[in-house]
A and B are shown apart, each in its own frame.
Chain A
Amino acid sequence: MPLGKTRRRLIGAAALIPLLVTTPVNGPLQSASAQAGLRPQANLNPCPKQTGKVNITFWTWEGPPSAIQHIVNEFNATHPDIHVNVDQVTPGFSGGYEKSFNALRAGKAPDVDMIEYYELPNFRFVNGLYNAAGCPAMKNVAKQFPGYINSEDSVGEPGAIYAVPEDIEPLAMFYRKDIFAKYNLPVPATWAQYQSDALALKTDTNGTVKMADMNANDYRLLVGLDWQAGAMPFQYTGTGFTYDMDSSAAQTVANYWESLIKDGVIDTAAGFTTPPEYITWNNGTVATQIGPDYLTGFFKGQAPAAAGDWAVAPIPQWAAGDHSDGEAGGSATAIMAGTKHPYADAVFADWFGDNYPVQVQLYAGQVLSGANSYLNNPAVIDTANPYFGGQAPMSVFRTMVNDVNTNFQWAPNMTTVFSDLQDNLQSAFNGSSTIEQAFVTTQNQAAANLRSLGVTVYTK
């Protein structure tokens, strides 16, 4: 006698149970080759051209929102078969990444997300990224952007493309040319000169004008300075990972800034892009600011009273004649795992990387796009910026791009590393610890976290 309908249905359902049990808890299965860790991919993800019109979602915190909507509208108008819906989200480092991680876990991630370069390995770590190297739109990415930000977007996997670069953020030195002129200080080309300038300034102004602002909020800047000094705090070793946050290069940087704090030439009440810092930019109580190019927009918006007083110079070097730099920031447009439209995502990500700042006149001169078409275009790079008294800050940053050390790598748990570093630097800046100790403690905490997630971790 044939089985009753209900019993047949039950057996059918039971057959699915093994699938439920073996599917990993963390989201869609990654392609087999991506499991290899660092070995180059043999099989690329399929990237079929979609039929008909597709809607893709794009999360970003780039602003102003009206400008981004304008760019997206232009894309939608010129690409009739793809419609991009853009959502403004909290900046990643202020909680936006937690939102993206949760969305990935829930299977509700956007198709395309704005992720800073340092955070890409963290997303790859949770299998949150989609390797779009097999998509036709990605064919020319290698030629469109400088080599090292392309390798940041491969996340350690040669030939992979998880994201398309957006901007590029090498470090340079913003300085008050009026203060330097008033006290006859040479613009420092070395860190030794920087320190003697700082001491001279302290004597001349009785300590009212500080050389720089720095506190626990400058954790990304400090890692960027380590990068400039040639440190490699995060290294992929075989199938494991090594933390080396207390190398001799890192110690040099830590001890240098520690001595500046002891000299009393650092304003430790003003941290990176916080309101107290903007006040010091405005009222002339700080003479320099080490930072990446996106700060040019911050200066214009937050320090209008000092318009015309600030200028940009190359970052000081450790040895005279050196050409070495690091980065602090910069984002890419990443394609997220679980997306149903990789072809369209790739088209948009590639277009956005090439077009975003150039299209928006508001943005021209306020951030350095990573696209070669922008970097090699003197008409755009050499645009004078009225805030900087007619200087073209981007031409300085453009030369710094060539100086960035290209083998730097980021850890797979940078969100934890950065939040631990920020916490530990609080003790360093309130006097109960040192910057070097903050790096050592952070290293131990980050290693413990990574070990608890099943990775073989070494510490130097």
Chain B
Amino acid sequence: MTTVTATSPGTGRWKSPVRTRALVTRAGFLGPFYTAFALFFLLPIGFAIYESLLSQRRIGGVFGRPIEVFSGLRQFGAVFSDPQFWSGIKTVALYVCIQVPLMATVGVTLALLLDVTAPRLARVFRTSYFVPFAVSTVVATILWGTLYTPGSSPLSEFHINIDFLSHNLVLPAIVNIGIWEWGGFNVVLMTTALTSIPTEIYDSARVDGASRWAMAWHIKLPLIRPTIVMSMVLTIIGTMQLFTEPQIMAQISDSIPTYYTPNMFAYYQISADNYSFAAAISVTLALVGLVLSFTFIRLTRRRTY
């Protein structure tokens, strides 16, 4: 195989066909990805941004003909001045602040514990933690919803009547569903990171007299730090888009309005025929997510990388 270097001198006329073939090869491999990226990622985002700059006017009375006109940042003004939007942001902010550290703690703690357990037993536990991941969010919410409803909850057999669907408990109830569903995934993630630590480090630590607790705290945790950070960023992005659980629980709980999360708020604009308002909400949410993720990564960055 001839390798073509752009600066090879004296190969003038022979360079072009080989380089073209290299370019074509590159395009052939990258092309499908970039086509899909453009079609399913860039195009919808571009359309959403375009849609968020429009608003509706009517000609001919209430049932007249609607037309879309360009209105600049008007929809964004409407979004930022809507108390329902801010209520949704507050709910999701609270959810992020609870869910993200909790999810990381659960994942890391269980992974560390499994790391020092007998391998066969560890595998059984790991699999059982992971099984809920295979359950769809919709099914998980319906399942837990039945357990939460005071009438059908098994707790009522023991005369413990806690209303998990009430105003104060519904958010912790949703957090619980999330931990149950994705906790196992985080455990697997952390375990994979832990297994990539060379075992010589543990040997030398043991020689230095380190206890298992000290090894976990001073060796394992720092070395899987990048994985923990990545997992938390993924959790932030996911939790910000909270939609499915409250959407389904709204059918059994009286404490979930249609604007409970920004995603739900955007969804309900369809029936209000306010597609451009929904687009503005989505764009705002995406920008907030972008800012949050980048800030988080910067804050947790260390000089070593």
Q: Note all chain B residues with C-beta closer than 8 A to A148.
A: none
A372 at the A/B interface (Cβ < 8 Å)? no
Known contacts A430-B254, A453-B66, A454-B66: A98-B270 contact under CB 8 Å:
yes
Residue among B63, B67, B267 with most chain A CB within 10 A: B63
CA distance A94 to B251 in the complex (A): 9
Q: Is the interface of B mostly helix, strand, loop or mixed?
A: loop
B123 at the A/B interface (Cβ < 8 Å)? no
Q: Which of A57-65, A360-368, A414-422 contacts B (4 or more CB under 8 A)?
A: A414-422
Q: How many Å from the CB of A254 to the closest CB on chain B?
A: 18
B78 at the A/B interface (Cβ < 8 Å)? yes
A11 at the A/B interface (Cβ < 8 Å)? no
The interface on chain B, measured as residues whose beta carbon lies within 8 A of the other chain's beta carbons, has a size of: 36
Q: Which of A135-143, A184-192, A272-280 contacts B (4 or more CB under 8 A)?
A: A272-280
B274-A453 in contact (CB<8A): yes
A419-B268 in contact (CB<8A): yes
B28 at the A/B interface (Cβ < 8 Å)? no
Known contacts A215-B254, A429-B254: A413-B273 contact under CB 8 Å:
yes
Q: Note all chain B residues with C-beta closer than 8 A to A419.
A: 258, 268, 271
Q: Note all chain B residues with C-beta closer than 8 A to A97.
A: 271
A303 at the A/B interface (Cβ < 8 Å)? no
Q: Which of A35-43, A44-52, A107-115, A396-404 contacts B (4 or more CB under 8 A)?
A: A35-43
Q: How many Å from the CB of A121 to the closest CB on chain B?
A: 8
- A102's partner among B59, B78, B151, B270 (CB-CB below 8 A) is B270
Q: Note all chain B residues with C-beta closer than 8 A to A217.
A: 254
B203 at the A/B interface (Cβ < 8 Å)? no
A177 at the A/B interface (Cβ < 8 Å)? no
Q: How many Å from the CB of B280 to the closest CB on chain A?
A: 11
B85 at the A/B interface (Cβ < 8 Å)? no
B164 at the A/B interface (Cβ < 8 Å)? no
A101-B270 in contact (CB<8A): yes
Q: Note all chain B residues with C-beta closer than 8 A to A102.
A: 270
- Which residues in window 271-285 of B have CB below 8 A to A? 271-275, 277
A38-B271 in contact (CB<8A): no
B303 at the A/B interface (Cβ < 8 Å)? no
Contact indicator per residue, chain B 36-78, by CB within 8 Å of chain A (1) or not (0)? 0000000000000000000111111111111110000000001
A390 at the A/B interface (Cβ < 8 Å)? no
Q: How many Å from the CB of B162 to the closest CB on chain A?
A: 13
23 contacts between A and B (CB under 8 A): A25-B67, A35-B59, A35-B63, A37-B62, A101-B270, A105-B275, A124-B63, A127-B65, A127-B66, A215-B254, A216-B254, A240-B61, A271-B254, A275-B149, A275-B152, A415-B272, A416-B268, A416-B272, A419-B271, A420-B258, A423-B258, A426-B255, A454-B56
B193 at the A/B interface (Cβ < 8 Å)? no
B182 at the A/B interface (Cβ < 8 Å)? no
Q: Note all chain B residues with C-beta closer than 8 A to A269.
A: 150, 254
Q: Note all chain A residues with C-beta closer than 8 A to B275.
A: 105
What number of residue pairs across chains A and B have CB atoms under 8 A from each other? 120
A54 at the A/B interface (Cβ < 8 Å)? no
- A426's partner among B58, B64, B257 (CB-CB below 8 A) is B257
A321 at the A/B interface (Cβ < 8 Å)? no
Q: Note all chain B residues with C-beta closer than 8 A to A430.
A: 167, 254-255
Q: Note all chain A residues with C-beta closer than 8 A to B93.
A: none
Q: How many Å from the CB of B52 to the closest CB on chain A?
A: 14
CA distance A120 to B224 in the complex (A): 58
Q: Note all chain A residues with C-beta closer than 8 A to B272.
A: 413, 415-416, 449, 453
Query: Which residue of chain B lies nearest to A93 when distances are taken between CB atoms in the complex?
Result: B271
Q: Note all chain A residues with C-beta closer than 8 A to B64.
A: 35, 37, 239
Q: Note all chain A residues with C-beta closer than 8 A to B270.
A: 98, 101-102
Q: Note all chain B residues with C-beta closer than 8 A to A454.
A: 56-58, 66
Q: Note all chain B residues with C-beta closer than 8 A to A320.
A: none
Query: Which residue of chain B lies nearest to A92 when distances are taken between CB atoms in the complex?
Result: B271
A183 at the A/B interface (Cβ < 8 Å)? no
A34 at the A/B interface (Cβ < 8 Å)? yes
Contact indicator per residue, chain B 94-134, by CB within 8 Å of chain A (1) or not (0)? 00000000000000000000000000000000000000000
CA distance A65 to B149 in the complex (A): 28
- Which residues in window 253-272 of B have CB below 8 A to A? 254-255, 257-259, 267-268, 270-272
Which residues of A approach B to under 8 Å, CB–CB?
24-26, 29-30, 34-38, 94, 97-98, 101-102, 105, 121-122, 124-127, 155-157, 215-217, 236, 238-241, 269, 271, 274-276, 279, 412-413, 415-416, 419-420, 422-423, 426, 429-430, 449, 452-455
Q: Note all chain A residues with C-beta closer than 8 A to B63.
A: 34-35, 37-38, 121, 124-125, 155-157, 412
B271-A412 in contact (CB<8A): no
Known contacts A101-B270, A276-B151, A413-B272: A24-B258 contact under CB 8 Å:
no
CA distance A157 to B63 in the complex (A): 10
CA distance A157 to B78 in the complex (A): 33
Contact indicator per residue, chain B 224-245, by CB within 8 Å of chain A (1) or not (0)? 0000000000000000000000
B215 at the A/B interface (Cβ < 8 Å)? no
Query: Which residue of chain A lies nearest to B247 when distances are taken between CB atoms in the complex?
Result: A95
- Which residues in window 169-228 of B have CB below 8 A to A? none
Q: How many Å from the CB of B259 to the closest CB on chain A?
A: 7
- B273's partner among A38, A126, A276, A422 (CB-CB below 8 A) is A126
Known contacts A275-B152, A423-B258: A239-B271 contact under CB 8 Å:
no
B140 at the A/B interface (Cβ < 8 Å)? no
A30-B65 in contact (CB<8A): yes
Q: Note all chain B residues with C-beta closer than 8 A to A416.
A: 268, 271-272
Q: Note all chain A residues with C-beta closer than 8 A to B89.
A: none
A452-B277 in contact (CB<8A): yes
Q: Note all chain A residues with C-beta closer than 8 A to B286.
A: none
Q: Note all chain A residues with C-beta closer than 8 A to B254.
A: 215-217, 269, 271, 426, 429-430
Residue among B58, B78, B273, B274 with most chain A CB within 10 A: B273
CA distance A412 to B274 in the complex (A): 13
Known contacts A98-B267, A423-B259, A430-B255: A125-B277 contact under CB 8 Å:
no
CA distance A30 to B66 in the complex (A): 11
CA distance A315 to B270 in the complex (A): 36
Known contacts A101-B273, A429-B254: A453-B259 contact under CB 8 Å:
no
